[in-house]
Structure 1
Amino acid sequence: MIKKSLTLLFILFCFCGFSQKIIQKNLESTFLNTTRSINIYIPEGYVKDSIKNYPLTVVLDEDYMFDLYVGNAVLFSKKDKAPKQIVVGVSMKDSKGEDISYNINNGQLTSSAQNFYTFIRDEVIFYMESTYRTSPFITLVGQGYSANLITHFLQEDTAFINSFICINPSFSDFIGGELQSYNLSKFGREDNTFYFYTNNSTSFSTDKQTQIDQVQKGLAGLGLKNFNIINDIIDTPSSISAMSEAIPRALTKVFEVYSGITKEEYDKNIKDLAPLDAISYLENKYLEIEFLFGSSLGIRENDIYAIENIIIEKENGDRLRDFGKMILKIFPSSPLGDYYIGRYYESGKMIKKAITQYKIGYGKMDPADPNADAFYENILRLGGQ
């Protein structure tokens, strides 16, 4: 309990530190025939870096979910577990629940909820994409009945939402039939990545737990390529604590491709690969990061070292040059690409070429870098002073 409290305090501290980047706007809506308040979080560095794009997240239930989500987003980006995000919180009518209401006889959205749905799709997202530098990766976040609302975005003919985060969802009784009617197989045909997160909790009623469990199993059974179903069970006596735990757990899964290679990822996807396949895996990982999130990271050194043994130990190290070329392709300013190419030439007794490559790599390094001297020793060792 103390550990969780400290985490929440740190999240709140992070959020307060970035509160000056919150923009409040009244967005005029044709569909709602009124103006609706939205809060926009702009991440640190947005103004300074005029080229970089950022994933867009739309959070419903803005009054309390927005602060909680932004706090987690800041923490995850600081820990390099997720890209920096632009987050927009949308206020909702709480008096009668008109924005998220549905017909209890068939599960279809009421006219007021359909208008709110269209407002999100055609006005909020359009405004954000036309006003700010957003990447193609869009996330929708809802809790309770607003989580039910965002499932209706699965019906769109064009799969333009990448991530659906349903926190403590209160689905309609017709959710199973609705999902079956949405032609979800279209996601498997897209050259893209999608996530659908739902959490269950021991704090929910038995009927609600059963319904969520059925939805989770039904979606998981589809086995669609690129459509990742994340079924989470949170053991807690409180729906509030379930909500606070669900958001970071959802972020961990939704942005797992962004994170550095973990032991789990290595054991599951990499360790048994041939050198060329391991190189291709790493290259595709970073190309996908750049495409989805607008983040040109280069390559993390730890990810390079993660597959180094495969390249060196398998096929007699014959793929060292391919490894180096791949690194230079994605991260041309890194000396590691030149190092591996130099090592390839050295192993083949092509000493002059090895010295040349080591010199190129050393020239990219800051003399203050503690690894610079060790790098230069390769040149001295081969007599290339």
Structure 2
Amino acid sequence: MKPYFLIALLWCAFCAPLTLHAQTSVFRQQQLHSAILDESRTINIYLPDTYSDDDTTHYPVVYLPDGGLSEDFLHVAGLMRFDAQSWVNRFPKAILIGIENTNRQRDFTYAVADLDFLKKVGFSKERIPQYGGSGKYISFIQQELMPYIADHYRVSGRRIYIGESLAGLLGTELLLYHRELFDTYFIFSPSLWWGNEKLLQDAAGLLAHKGKKQVNVFIAAPAKDEMPLMYEDAKALYDLLQKDKETRSWFEYLPDETHATVMHEALYRAFRKLSVADTITAH
């Protein structure tokens, strides 16, 4: 069988159920207007195969900022669906909330005084015309999206975050400043170089507060030689978290992956490692 034909069959095998059950038991897509962002957002929702509107079971919720159908939604939903099968049992049956992007550079970056630091990492200022909107985006998630999902779906108290690259930067900001929003953070190849690595500089002080909510954090980094600073920053974040008693943290180095490919393999390994640690359960 030719490889491209096999790929087509696999694509149809996954997408057909999504089409068949659209707006019912597996996949739903909704428009949510945000007063905070002053725009409407497309929200893609994957529901476990056991989800039923007349059932009483409540499910953990996974939030995926790069959650468009042309972004990370489909392959994350596929991994969740596979790993939730009883004979695999690496991840609980959970609801996936994919937030489709309109301007991820603006939404996933915190405010900075200037962009002079971009030269150090080889980016031009023209590549990032809008930035500094993470405060509004986090408020949208906390004040609008999460309450909407809780009102319309049967959710448990368990929430999980998945973010790569700039979404990994956002995940780190959430972890350090809004820790209570999620129980588990998957942070892959985070762009911690943003703002001259200010989040890393502030991390030790922010983690020093006692009585914090206990969370799980899984960090992954691709090949060092592609962009050494990104590996060093990811490892530095992990080293800081290892010193924090209220944080259970893991680090995975993936030398065969690039920044562009790290997401899928990192998430696969994260599900496997955390299932062994038994840290994610359907409460």
State TM-score, norm by structure 2: 0.77
Offset at 1:180? 2.5
2:108 equivalent to 1:75: no
Match of 2:238 among 216, 224, 237: 216
2:164 equivalent to 1:143: yes
Match of 1:34 among 35, 39, 60: 39
Question: Which structure shows the bigger proportion of residues in helix conformation?
Answer: 1
Equivalences for 1:105-124 in 2 at 5 Å? 105=113, 112-124=133-145
2:229 equivalent to 1:207: yes
The CA distance in 2 between the partners of 1:215 and 1:9, in whole Å, is 40
Offset at 1:71? 0.6
2:191 equivalent to 1:170: yes
Aligned partner of 1:52 in structure 2 is: 57
2:106 equivalent to 1:98: yes
Gaps of 5+ in 2: 1-5, 116-129
Offset at 1:103? 3.6
The CA distance in 2 between the partners of 1:67 and 1:178, in whole Å, is 35
The CA distance in 1 between the partners of 2:10 and 2:220, in whole Å, is 21
Offset at 1:121? 1.5
The CA distance in 2 between the partners of 1:103 and 1:59, in whole Å, is 22
Is the CA contact (8 Å cut-off) linking 2:220 and 2:254 kept in structure 1? yes
Percent same amino acid at aligned positions? 20
Aligned partner of 2:3 in structure 1 is: none
Is the CA contact (8 Å cut-off) linking 1:60 and 1:66 kept in structure 2? no
Match of 1:23 among 28, 34, 37: 28
Aligned partner of 2:273 in structure 1 is: 253
Q: Which has the larger radius of gyration?
A: 1
SS of equivalent residue, structure 1 residue 293: coil
Offset at 1:206? 1.5
The CA distance in 2 between the partners of 1:156 and 1:11, in whole Å, is 41
Offset at 1:69? 0.9
Is the CA contact (8 Å cut-off) linking 1:14 and 1:75 kept in structure 2? no
The CA distance in 2 between the partners of 1:143 and 1:137, in whole Å, is 21
Equivalences for 1:353-364 in 2 at 5 Å? none
Which amino acid in the other structure matches residue 143 of structure 1? E
Which amino acid in the other structure matches residue 160 of structure 1? L
Sort the Cα spacing of 1:121 and 1:233 in 2 relative to 1 into closer, same or farther, 3 A: same
- Post-superposition CA distance 1:237-280 (Å, at most 9, x none): 5333322210111222344455xxxxxxxxxxxxxxxxxxxxxx
Which amino acid in the other structure matches residue 253 of structure 1? K
Is the CA contact (8 Å cut-off) linking 1:82 and 1:251 kept in structure 2? yes
2:245 equivalent to 1:238: no
Sort the Cα spacing of 1:255 and 1:18 in 2 relative to 1 into closer, same or farther, 3 A: farther
Aligned partner of 1:152 in structure 2 is: 173
Offset at 1:219? 1.5
Offset at 1:105? 4.7
SS of equivalent residue, structure 2 residue 181: coil
Offset at 1:182? 2.5
Matched residue pairs, number?
Answer: 250
Sort the Cα spacing of 1:113 and 1:11 in 2 relative to 1 into closer, same or farther, 3 A: farther
Is the CA contact (8 Å cut-off) linking 1:165 and 1:198 kept in structure 2? yes
State TM-score, norm by structure 1: 0.58
- Post-superposition CA distance 1:53-108 (Å, at most 9, x none): 111000011132111111100000012221111001001124x721113344599x
Question: Which structure shows the bigger proportion of residues in strand conformation?
Answer: 2
